[in-house]
Amino acid sequence: NDLLAANFIHDGDRLWLIDWDYAGYNSPLFDLGGLASNNEFSADQEHQLLQAYFGSPADADLMRRYAAMKCGSLLREALWSLVSEIHSKIDFDYVAYSDQNLARFRRAYSEFLA
């Protein structure tokens, strides 16, 4: 549930995924949507991601489910950043981050509804 580029470490031999504090049981599409949105993938890159993960091109049904989970991932990140505005003790502009996340969610949700 937190596939940010900063959570991948390559030690020269292996690729490590770190920062498991937000781990949870859910659809892999949620994580793939988060990975794509956190790294601002283009539509073509998203199709490549899904093809690499599932081993074949994504059909319309898979793309629809992926779009729904991407919206869920973006909404979770937006809600997390809103809570962090109030409770976080680190020096970070959570107001701007919340605004960015809400805008990204609104765009993705509008595309999902279209």
User: For residue range 21-48, what is the model confidence (pLDDT) as tens digits?
Assistant: 777 788 999 999 999 998 899 999 999 9
Q: Where is pLDDT greater, at 95 or 6? A: 95
| Residue 75 included in any domain | yes
Alpha carbons 56 and 108: distance in angstroms, whole number: 24
Q: Residue 42: which domain range?
A: 28-113
**Range of weakest confidence among 14-18, 53-57, 60-64:** 14-18
| Residue 21 included in any domain | no
How many folded domains does the chain comprise? 1
pLDDT score of 57 more than 90: yes
Which pTM does this prediction carry?
Answer: 0.85
For residue 110, the SS3 value is helix
| Residue 15 included in any domain | no
pLDDT score of 78 more than 80: yes
The percentage of the chain sitting over the pLDDT mark of 70, rounded to a whole number, equals: 99
Alpha carbons 108 and 37: distance in angstroms, whole number: 9
Q: Averaged over 66-74, what is the pLDDT?
A: 97
